[in-house]
Chain A
Amino acid sequence: MKKCKILCVCGSGTVSSAMIAGKLKEQLAEKGWEAEAVETSPNGVESVLSGGKFDLIACVSPVYQDYGVPKVNAVGMLTGMSEEQVIADCLKILEG
């Protein structure tokens, strides 16, 4: 399986980001990607990014600044309304 590292961001860096981290890992595994996920709040993004190489940032809360790492809007994964779209967006970045 190919490996990737994803930063999951939500308001408090706990609730919602943990939820999407789990789903992302599960669904990306089905597509052949072994995902390592780290959760943080928008305030923690800069310091976490400086500590490691991430392939993409999955946002539940908006991350306004550009850190040079591609972002995916992951709210659809939380509500379950557009999980496939979120995965498709992730794959486009990972495979593109």
Chain B
Amino acid sequence: MQTVFQDLVAVDVEAQDTEEIIRTAGQMLLEHGFVKDSYIQAVIEREKIYPTGLKLQEIAVAMPHTDREHVIKPGVCVVKLEKPVIFAHMGEPDTKVEVEIIFMMSILHPDEQIETLQKVLGVFQQPAVVADFKNAVTKEELFEVAMKHIG
């Protein structure tokens, strides 16, 4: 099941804080019919209580998402930030991390999407794959890397 799409990939995106980047990435999902109008606000609210920042070995990423009631179809929006945005760390809300790449997900059926989830998290756990994402400069390069590792 494909969850990475050309329309859902962006680079050099500027944002001041988590809310702004969630809105920007959420807008991409909304415009292309992946989520309902209620999605963006739901993700913002959820991120405040259950933050999704993750500090890995070489980089920090975030995987904002929300419940299936706000979703129309499954997808992963991959956004590389122009400069890092501070997110709180998952499971440890007092720890802050400087996030460079966002993987915002619209999840409809978690059971069906286990494979996608495993790939996204698998990406995070392999320094070589993280490097691929880090080194992608253009939107096309990022799309290719995302397709290769997440698909």
Contact = CB atoms under 8 A, between A and B. Distances in A.
Interface of A: 10-12, 14-16, 18-19, 22, 59-62, 73-75, 78-81
Nearest to B105: A15
Chain B: interface size category: 20 to 34
A80 B66 contact: no
Contacts of A22: 114, 118
Interface stretch (B16-24, B50-58, B139-147): B50-58
B93 A62 contact: yes
B91 interface: yes
Interface of B: 46, 49-50, 52, 54-57, 63, 65-68, 89-93, 105, 107, 110-111, 114, 117-118, 121, 124-125
Nearest to B67: A12
B90 A19 contact: no
Contacts of B52: 11
Q: Which 7 A-B pairs have the closest CB atoms?
A: A11-B50, A80-B125, A75-B91, A14-B110, A61-B50, A79-B54, A12-B67
Nearest to A11: B50
Contact of B90 (A14, A18, A78, A80): A78
A14 B105 CA distance: 12
A61 B90 CA distance: 7
